Amino acid sequence: MRNHPVCAHCGRLATEVDHVIPFKGDKARIFDLDNLQPLCHERHSKTRVWYFSCIKSLSNP
């Protein structure tokens, strides 16, 4: 975040780093810098809620 200190979505100060494509145990993706984006806390929280709601709906059709 030192090089990219603003949220990739809203431009506010980034406080968290997010995996663009969830790594799901894929160790190569965990530290892939091209798979990371800086996010503010609010956007990161919204992204996580969206992602886990999608996973839940797919597992309970």
Q: Is residue 8 part of a domain?
A: no
Domain total of the chain: 1
Tell me if 45 is assigned to some domain.
yes
Beta carbons within 10 angstroms of residue 43's beta carbon = 20
10-residue averages of pLDDT along the chain (61 residues)? 88 94 86 93 88 72 58
29 found inside a domain: yes
Q: What is the pLDDT of residue 27?
A: 85
Domain that holds residue 21: 16-59
> pTM for this one?
0.74
Residue 61, pLDDT score: 58
Q: Report yes or no on 54 lying in a domain.
A: yes
pLDDT at residue number 25? 82
pLDDT at position 35, please?
92
The answer as to whether 6 is a domain residue is: no
